[in-house]
Each structure stands twice: as structure tokens, then as C-alpha cells.
Amino acid sequence: MPDVVVIGAGAVGAACAYYAARAGLDVVVVDRGPVAGGTTGAGEGNVLVSDKAPGPELDLALLSDGLWRDLAEHDGFEFEPKGGLVVAETARDLEALTGLAAGQGVEHTAVAARELGEYEPHLARGLAGGVFYPRDAQVQPMLAAATLIRRGAERFGRGALMLRTGVAVTGFLRGGDRVTGVRTDHGDILAGAVANAAGVWGGQVAALAGVRVPILPRRGFVLVTEPIPEPVIRHKVYTAAYVANVASESEELETSAVVEATPSGPVLVGASRERVGFDRTTSVPVLERLARQAVALFPVLAGRRVIRAYCGFRPYCPDHLPVIGADPRAPGLHHACGHEGAGIGLAPATGHLLAQVLAGLTPDLDLRPFRPDRFKEERR
């Protein structure tokens, strides 16, 4: 019998499994699809501190930043510590950006309008200025998730980490009030604990245990250009509007330019946000809007072909904080979900902290802001 069953083989689930195995626990990871088949496989791989306001999420991001760098050094997946340049279109936006940076307490450099070209020679003229964050980075998310699971299985004991894909969780096993495993369409799995890392489906998984975790899907599109041989974009570059959109509670469509190159040549263009359930219909107007915003930021992209576009769903929580830790309403059940668009970046810290809880250790960060039962119950 494993010590823990992890539900979900995306970046967060993979990190939970990796760190739990490293802590000496036997782990089984189950996913109804393939590794990184959900939100992880539809993301850009952001590892950001720049877009986090001071508080619990920024603390989580700073812990995760160091863990990502340590993992990349030893595990050999695609990790680019390229830094992020946040640009402001107006003096008012610049004032807000610099104010945010001053309050974060993380390494940054204020960039005057005349200096922007030193960071990004192809950036549009006429911007008010920006802030450069050297700690921002990029990771190839699918490769990272697969590598964490593989390395966890290889390094930490004989059979300490087992992966089972194509296995859907249909319910929970109980011993009295305690969760003692999961029911699946391939049979029951007894375990000492269960970790819900089901991403955008985390709320549905929680409901199977009779508890409420209000996670909703927030759709986003990404454009991929044809390979561009010359390095026209050096860093992750996005506008101040992106920071506002991340914190927004609106259900309506919001877009803001996020542009970056990849090692293989294509440029990735985002980001859009809208709450439309699990509707995967391609929205041409949204794609056109993203393309126009990208060209406005980098005119050099005009005329470049878009070779594909894809969409994914961010696991949105109403207070924009993930759900991490033991659920007192269902002893034996733990959660690691609800990270919205920051799940890739926050995955190592989430896995590390949850593994400490599962191993009976005091976590390195206070998990009370992320507690699963913090939401008001809906009236029936």
C-alpha cells in the first residue's frame, strides 16, 4: 500500500510526487489522461516573481524560484533564466509598476524609456518605461513534469514512485471519517493519504470527497509563430495590463500582450483570460486581438506567420490563492490545486511543502493562507 496517492500528473502533481518520494514516501500518481495532458500542456511555462503582489503567493513564488533552479541544475530539462521585462504604456502605468516593485522586496531594476532598447532592441518606441526582473524564468512545462516523475522514480528507492495513466478517480475510500484511498475505473487503491493535484478539475475531485473547493476554469489562448532564426526577443516581455488581468475577478474577456522567444525559434504570444466553462471553441477574434497586441509591442513580428494556436484552462480560485495542505473536513485528504496561471511556477514549492506535511514535518512556509476550508460555504 502506498503512503500517498497523487491525483493528477501535471506539473503540480509531478512536483508533489517527486518531493514526497524524496521524503521517503511511497507514491502512486494517477491521471485519467497522459502526463501533462491538462493545463500544464497548454501553458507557456512561466516561472514569475514579477507579477506577484507582496504576500503569501509571492513568498511561495520566491521559494519555488530557488527550487526550480536547483532542479534544473541537476535534472537537465529546458529551463531559461532569461529575466522578465514589464513595460508600461503610460506614466500612470509606470508609477503603478514601480510602486509594486518597491513593495515586493525582490531584485529588480527600474528601466527608463530611453533604456528599454538596451534590454529589447526590437521593442516598440513610445513606451513610458518598465521594470526588469532578473529572477523571472521560463521552463518547458511538459518536459519538466515528465522529468520530475521519472527522476522521482529513479532516485528515491525501489518502486517508491509509480505512475498510472489512463486511470480516472471515481470516488474515495473511507475508514470512518478518514480518507483511506481512491476508487478508480481500474479498481481501488488503498493509501495512507491522498493528494488532490487535479488542477482545473480539483473542485470536482474534492466534491467526490464531500468537500467544497471552489475552482473554476479560466480559458486562455496562446499563439505560436513560425521559427524566427534571429533572436528578436531576449526576455519574457509583457505589459502592465497583464499584472492587472492576473488579479482581476472579471468573467469577461481580458487580453494583454505577453511575448517571448523559445530556444527552437518560435515566439509564444499570450495572454487571454475569460470564464466560459470548459468551452474549447477557438475564438478567432481573441486570436486576432492577441496578434495585434503582440505586433504593437514588437513591430518586428508584423508579417510573421502564426503556425498554430492552442487553449488551456487555468484553475481559478476566487481569492487568487492556491489551495495547499490537509483538509480538516476530510482527514487523509490533502489539496495542491487552484494555482490559476501560476501553477508551473509554483509547482516545486507546492510539492515541497505538501511533502513536508505528508511526512509529518513543519512546512517551510505558513500554509494557513492556502488552507482548503477558508472559503465560505454556499447557502443551499
DSSP 67-113: HHHHHHHHH---EE---EEEEESSHHHHHHHHHHHHHHTS--EEEEG
pTM exceeding 0.85: yes
Choose among 185, 231, 380, 2: nearest CA to 16.
2
Residue 379 is predicted with a pLDDT of 44
pLDDT over 90, % of the chain: 88
Task: Give the sign of the dihedral formed by CA 225, CA 302, CA 280, CA 319.
Answer: positive
Q: Provide the grid cell at 9.
A: 500528473
Measured distance CA(344)–CA(339) in Å, rounded = 9
7-30: average pLDDT: 97
Asked if pLDDT for residue 245 goes beyond 70, the answer is no
pLDDT at 52: 96
Q: Which residues contact 321 (CB under 8 A, 6 or more apart)?
A: 56, 57, 338, 369, 370
Region 160-185 average pLDDT: 96
Question: Rg for the chain (alpha carbons), in Å?
Answer: 21
* pLDDT at res. 64: 98
CA–CA gap between residue 184 and residue 175 (Å, rounded): 17
User: What average pLDDT does this structure show over 121-126?
Assistant: 97
Do 45 and 141 meet the contact criterion of CB atoms below 8 Å apart? yes
Helix (H, G, I), strand (E, B) or coil at 284: helix
Structure letter (DSSP) for residue 124: P
On average, the pLDDT of the chain sits at: 94
Residue 236 clears pLDDT 50, i.e. is over it: yes
Q: Which long-range contacts (CB under 8 A, 24 or more apart) does 175-184 make?
A: 177/330, 177/331, 178/331, 178/332, 179/209, 179/330, 179/331, 179/332, 179/333, 180/332, 181/5, 182/5, 182/7, 182/30, 184/30
Tell me which residue has cell 515541497.
352
Pairing mode, strands 137-139 and 46-47: antiparallel
Q: How far apart are CA 147 and CA 279, in angstroms?
A: 30
The pLDDT of residue 290: 95
Of 46, 63, 58, nearest in space to 137 by CA: 46
Q: How confident is the model at residue 222 (pLDDT cuts 50, 70, 90)?
A: very high
Sequence-distant (6+) residues with CB within 8 A of 339 are 12, 315, 322, 346, 347, 350
Whether pLDDT at 158 is above 70: no
| Mean pLDDT computed over 277-290 | 94
| pLDDT at site 75 | 80
Residue 186 pLDDT > 60: yes
pLDDT of residue 380: 40
Q: How far is CA 161 from each of CA 1, 68, 81, 194, rounded to the nearest angstrom?
A: 12, 20, 29, 14
Q: How confident is the model at residue 157 (pLDDT cuts 50, 70, 90)?
A: low
Q: d(Cα 143, Cα 131) in Å, to the nearest integer?
A: 30
Burial of 176 (0-12, 13-18, 19+ CB in 10 A): exposed
**Percent of the residues in the chain that have a pLDDT greater than 70, as a whole number:** 97
Question: Which residue bears the cell 468551452?
Answer: 279
Q: What is the pLDDT of residues 315-374, one digit of tens each?
A: 999 999 999 999 999 999 999 999 999 999 999 999 999 999 999 999 999 999 999 999
pLDDT of residue 159: 63
In whole angstroms, give the CA distance from residue 170 to residue 217: 20
